[in-house]
Amino acid sequence: MLRFFLRRFAVAVLVALTVLTLAFMLTRLSGDLAISIAGPNATAADVETIRRVYGLDRPVWVQYFDWLGRALQGDFGESYFFRDRVANLIGSRMPVTLTLGLVGLVIALVVSLPLGILAAVREGSWVDRAVGLVAIIGQAMPSFWLGLVLMIVFGLQLGWLPISGVETWDGYILPGVVLAFSAIPSLTRLTRSGMIEALSSDYIRTARAKGLSRLSILVKHGFRNAAIPVVSIAAVQLGFMLGGSVVIETVFALHGVGFLAWESISKNDFPVVQAVVLVLALIYIALTLLADLLNAVLDPRLRTA
């Protein structure tokens, strides 16, 4: 198990270093940062002053290694627009984004797992086709459009839920449902296919021959084996949700990391953009590593893969 963890951890470190490099280079590929910071009405002297003050007159490789060394210590510099440490900005906004992502994942699992199991048990029936239709609709529906519809129906017309802000816990419900809707199709299909494969296995027939109850066969024997790929995709979906929170937080005016990224992009605040991309990517890498470890616990055969 230790060798398995070390191999996966080494891969995660290499991916993290790659993300560090890409986060730095992508902002440089967008053009001259000094011109973007100065704005369209700035003079050549203003641009040169900004280039000198922010160290943009140094060679790119010097800027990169300087930023890399500080980023590895958790120092992402200072925001050009907010005039605060980038780490402080992200730290103050992260609880909203993490809570939103976890709410979305819980809703997605609560809906998709029973649907997937039900579709597998009733394979080929109208129930199976109805679940498949729900998955297709969820895959095709734009998240921003669904968010606006939910705001109009449940926020404005019925007045049941708030349409912006998270001053109370119910402020997470509508954006959480929107995030969950994008993850439900893949989780449902994966649960269905895994359960169908598990229910046709020899150990399931043996369990039936022993006279075990239908519920015990489905949950204890069938779903335990079908859950292995679901664990991986759930971690991946949580990472997607955190990244996709840029759209959802903007629609619902939630001041999380996603909304911070949108603000920073609109203000050409490149240190914040770099840091947000890096932090979200590192969370995604950590979730993938955690999923690999959980899969290894559920299926010991994966430890030697």
Q: Using H for helix, E for strand and C for coil, what is the string for the chain? A: CHHHHHHHHHHHHHHHHHHHHHHHHHHHHCCCHHHHHHCCCCCHHHHHHHHHHCCCCCCHHHHHHHHHHHHHCCCCCECCCCCCEHHHHHHHHHHHHHHHHHHHHHHHHHHHHHHHHHHHHCCCCHHHHHHHHHHHHHHHCCHHHHHHHHHHHHHHHCCCCCCCCCCCHHHHHHHHHHHHHHHHHHHHHHHHHHHHHHHCCHHHHHHHHCCCCHHHHHHHHHHHHHHHHHHHHHHHHHHHHHHHHHHHHHHCCCCCHHHHHHHHHHCCCHHHHHHHHHHHHHHHHHHHHHHHHHHHHHCHHHHHC
Task: Determine, yes or no, domain membership for 153.
Answer: yes
Whichever domain contains 106, its CATH number is 1.10.3720.10
Measured CA to CA in angstroms, residue 185 lies from 25, 127, 139, 140, 181 at distances of: 34, 15, 6, 10, 8
CA triple 24-245-74, angle to 5 deg: 40
- Distance, CA of 278 to CA of 90 (rounded, Å): 11
Task: Determine, yes or no, domain membership for 26.
Answer: no
Task: Determine, yes or no, domain membership for 76.
Answer: no
Task: Determine, yes or no, domain membership for 257.
Answer: yes
Predicted local distance difference test score (pLDDT) of residue 25: 76
Predicted local distance difference test score (pLDDT) of residue 148: 83
Those residues with Cβ within 8 angstroms of residue 302's Cβ, 6 or more apart along the chain or in another chain: 4, 292, 295, 296
Host domain of residue 131:
86-304
Task: Determine, yes or no, domain membership for 31.
Answer: no
Predicted local distance difference test score (pLDDT) of residue 73: 77
Task: Determine, yes or no, domain membership for 290.
Answer: yes
The one-digit pLDDT tens for each residue of the chain (305 residues) are 667 667 777 877 788 788 878 877 776 666 666 666 666 666 777 667 777 766 766 777 777 887 777 777 777 777 777 777 888 888 888 888 888 888 888 888 888 888 888 887 777 788 778 888 877 877 777 777 887 888 888 877 887 877 776 677 777 888 888 888 878 888 888 888 877 777 777 666 676 676 666 666 666 666 666 777 777 777 777 877 777 677 788 788 788 888 888 888 777 777 888 888 888 888 888 887 777 777 676 666 655 65
Task: Determine, yes or no, domain membership for 199.
Answer: yes
Number of domains the chain contains: 1
pTM of the model: 0.75
Predicted local distance difference test score (pLDDT) of residue 77: 75
Task: Determine, yes or no, domain membership for 100.
Answer: yes
